[in-house]
Amino acid sequence: MKSLKALKNQSVDVSRRQFLLGSVGGSLMMAFAPTVLALAGEAQKSLTDKAFSPTIWFEINASGTVLVNIAKAEMGQHVGTALARIVAEELGADWNTVEIKHVDTDPKWGYMVTGGSWSIFTSYKPLSQAGAAGRIALIEAGAKILKVSPADCEAKGGYVISSKGKISFAELVQKVEFNKQFSAEELAALPLKTKSKHTLHGNDFKALDIPAKTNGTAKYGIDVEIEGMVYARPILPPTRYGSKVLSVDDSKAKALEDYLGFEILKDPSETLQGWVSVLAKDYPTAIKAADLLTVKYQAGPTARSMKRLFCERENVR
């Protein structure tokens, strides 16, 4: 098993990667890529082939929507909103056009742990640089169309703006064939906005994940259905540690049509000790069946102190 530190480094190491921008399927796609995969001048092709680092990538579509893919676990901390905001700040995007997508749990997305307060402090710099790279590419393209010097342009609110007019990110994505890459060194040297130029950071903006959590569309683990899946309900042992299942009687549960059986969990890591998992074709049957099982245990050594606790509680009354 890899150490936590090794996993952490694996999940955030974008320091030796280049950054690719390319027009793919009508959108402007941007992503980090391992240096070996992206050959010089082939950003567009590498992006089309999805030969990029999975941890950070985002795109602007032809209607100007900025979609930021999030490979971190959302557990109520609005991590997607925070990460997208870092990109949007440097990109000069209009926050109202930013969307997030939580990717699936495919192992290719890397170590997706939520904890340790890593996500922001380890992603802040690479995401800021990624946003800055996008901004520079958009400004270069915009300057060409507006016939001005890139130095006379800024990216703000989803537009490249110059003294001689402005052009939206959406229009640029439609009109320009992007194919550009930044080496790791170039990326590291990109100028980031100074604090006084920040328009999103430190200001009050609505979290992007909240609307879905007010209308029933946010998808949680329990909402996922897979063809042929069965449902399990655990029966917990009398003590956290040291419990052993001696016998299980499921004769009553067998009367339930959709009951499938039980398993005494064997966990070599010993995180779970003495757990019984009750299986059924549907959730309510699993719950009902679990209530009908009789499990006999050899309880762990703390069972006595539990008993004492209950006695003490009785005495207090």
The DSSP output letter for 223 is G
Q: C-alpha angle 273/278/279, rounded to 5°? A: 135
What is the distance between the alpha carbons of residues 136 and 178, in angstroms, rounded to a whole number? 12
Question: 169: closest CA among 102, 98, 101?
Answer: 98
Does 206 interact with another protein (rule: CB under 8 A)?
A: yes
Does 216 interact with another protein (rule: CB under 8 A)?
A: yes
Q: Find the part of the chain contacting another protein (CB under 8 A) among 28-36, 51-59, 186-194, 214-222.
A: 214-222
Does 222 interact with another protein (rule: CB under 8 A)?
A: yes
List the one residue from 1, 36, 75, 226 that touches another protein (CB under 8 A): 75
Element (DSSP H or E) covering residue 311? helix 303-316
Taking a C-beta distance cutoff of 8 angstroms, is the pair 90, 136 a contact?
Answer: no
Does 190 interact with another protein (rule: CB under 8 A)?
A: no
What is the distance between the alpha carbons of residues 311 and 112, in angstroms, rounded to a whole number? 44
Does 218 interact with another protein (rule: CB under 8 A)?
A: yes
Q: Find the part of the chain contacting another protein (CB under 8 A) among 20-28, 119-127, 184-192, 222-230.
A: 222-230
DSSP string, 124-169: HHHHHHHHHHHHHHHHHHHHHHHTS-GGG-EEETTEEEETTEEEEH
- For the bound state, the minimum distance from the C-beta of residue 12 to another protein, rounded and expressed in Å, comes to 24
Does 98 interact with another protein (rule: CB under 8 A)?
A: no
- For the bound state, the minimum distance from the C-beta of residue 15 to another protein, rounded and expressed in Å, comes to 32
Does 77 interact with another protein (rule: CB under 8 A)?
A: yes
- List the structure tokens of 210: 């909240």
What is the distance between the alpha carbons of residues 97 and 64, in angstroms, rounded to a whole number? 7
Taking a C-beta distance cutoff of 8 angstroms, is the pair 52, 43 a contact?
Answer: no
List the one residue from 121, 241, 283, 310 that touches another protein (CB under 8 A): 283
Does 284 interact with another protein (rule: CB under 8 A)?
A: yes
Q: Find the part of the chain contacting another protein (CB under 8 A) among 29-37, 123-131, 281-289, 308-316.
A: 281-289
Q: How many CA atoms lie within 13 A of 88 on its CB side?
A: 27
- For the bound state, the minimum distance from the C-beta of residue 52 to another protein, rounded and expressed in Å, comes to 30
| Number of residues engaging another protein in binding (CB under 8 A) | 26
Using CB under 8 A as the criterion, which residues of the chain lie in contact with another protein when the complex forms? 74-78, 206-207, 209-220, 222-223, 225, 282-284, 287
